[in-house]
Chain A
């Protein structure tokens, strides 16, 4: 479904990604792990189109989208749950959800609204409240629900567990599984390797903008260096 082919990305003169190649098959959850500043968020921003690669291809459904603008990519079925949630705090919960469906013109928006509110009943309760007044966990759910409103085929998730209480993290991951079960392909960026390995079918490890290690979660996690760096063992 998604393939990054030897992608180079720069911030000005600084190279953030060096020949990154990643493959995400349809229907799977693939995760990208790595330390702060390794280039995980940069990778997602390259997929959603905020950053354009200097070299390499971003292939989505067989088409190179590397030079398309973000709104075209969203329209093609890519949605993102951004790092730090980035919900619009001065908009109501409902307005945030409608922004999620911004590129859509089909008639199914209402149904999807019902669907995400069933998935997160708290959002229905808070429908007309300003999103900025929600708690951190609620904001994360809103961010996920907002992304789902785009009816994505590929969902990008940037550290959905960041800054949340452990019980909420578990809940978020349950939702991720649930979303995947409904046929949404997911590219997950995490520092929480423990949680990521439970949902993923394949993992990539990013270090200083380079993918050095990849494999099934069992294989990756059993590597000593991964244990040392991410699992405190």
Chain B
């Protein structure tokens, strides 16, 4: 156990040293991509809490991201620039007109508000069965989008907010992913996590074992909303401009596709799916623009989704966590195959 922990800590330290070296040497655009992959990864990982582990098909995550993004932006926006950006000053109880929040508390506040909002959304929605839940959360996302478009005093509506201070870097994003993974692993090792999996496998049986379904669905739902709120804040301070359309269908579907292609129900699946598809989309972007074939990336995404649904419903990960041990075992097996044939 102790050995595992040292191994884990060493891996993490090594990972962040690599990130640091990358940041020193790679150009801004590449770092932006790595950063954005991190933000998407956090979204997809937190989506996996609901869609993967409990078998709820949440389509409302973009709404929670919007809450996190706007909260964080409104709290951190430079006081001097507010007038020019047509954004309101902070009221006295939030620090007053001359105050601007530091990044971390603003980010946390975004996550907390998203999590709080998840409770009244979840209470009714989590009682609904499978695909009704999907439609209801999709409705929630659309309602949030209309609010973001119309609450112009706070969000500047469809115009969006520009010149958001850049705070997000790879250490922020991957740091949050680390925190998420720790919580995720702890949760899934607990009896609570096992109950969640039981619900996914068989709702009726789980109910028969007197597992309170709504309760066990609520925790992953709220937890994932929290991290989606955080991801929203990270996203806003990475791209430096946001509009309601950033938290709409495109983002919803892209992240859902990443999770399913990677393999829902596993953390490594979420990580794989996000990395591969985001990298693919940046690789294809010049092609799309060069050939003026707008929509090419989404076309490929969706074609992959359909193929995966039909041929490999468990996604790339195949329902297994790709830990180092698992990969090693797989490689060994493969080698054995080649010997025998």
A touches B in complex, CB < 8 A? no
Please give the residue numbers on chain A whose beta carbons come within 8 Å of chain B beta carbons, in ascending order. Answer: none
Please give the residue numbers on chain B whose beta carbons come within 8 Å of chain A beta carbons, in ascending order. Answer: none
